[in-house]
Amino acid sequence: MTDYTLGEQMLPARVLTEIGIYLQSAAHLELTIWQIIMYADGEFLPEKEKLINYLEIKKVTPTLLKEIKSSVSKVPPKLGIRLAELAKKMEVGLINRNYAAHGAFFLDPPTMSLRASHYYPQGKGSNRTWYEASGSLNRRQVSNAIEEIDALLREAVEIRIELEKSR
């Protein structure tokens, strides 16, 4: 057995840690948004059948974003304003979160700069087109992305706490 996985040999530990921090923050953000959707509907401990319906919402991120926008009108106005802003920021950042989750990160040998490559579709059926997203990332971009996802998660958690208080 080797001491390191191939992934650990391909990327510095700091990069792997930062990717993990970003991805876990994004996963917790989506979990919190899902809970907010249920809480906005007055469902704090849904029965099995309702829970399954909510899980269907959770499994597809665009559906989750659509539902959180619908939840804006179901919460008190001040929270609704915050939730609408959060939903907008989440929608804008969807491509970056998808890129981080599904992109392959590597160090470019000549410059040792951090790069990532990802292929993603747009459209459906015969109108579906595939695109390549590839580029280099600098330290500031990585740091900004982590700060941004952390701020979104913190705001979502605060909104969820406010909704829990109202139950």
Q: Is 130 contained in some domain?
A: no
Structure token digits, residue 155: 């705001």
Q: How far apart are CA 64 and CA 30, in angstroms?
A: 8
User: Could you tell me the residue range of the domain that residue 87 belongs to?
Assistant: 12-94+139-165
Please give the pLDDT value at position 1: 63
pLDDT of residue 160 exceeding 90: yes
Q: Is 117 contained in some domain?
A: no
Please give the pLDDT value at position 162: 96
Domain total of the chain: 1
Structure token digits, residue 143: 């740091």
The pLDDT tens digits for 60-108 are 999 999 999 999 999 999 999 999 999 999 999 998 899 899 999 999 8
Structure token digits, residue 100: 């981080």
Mean pLDDT of the chain: 94
pLDDT band at 128 (very low <50, low <70, confident <90, very high): very high
The pLDDT tens digits for 130-147 are 988 888 898 899 999 999
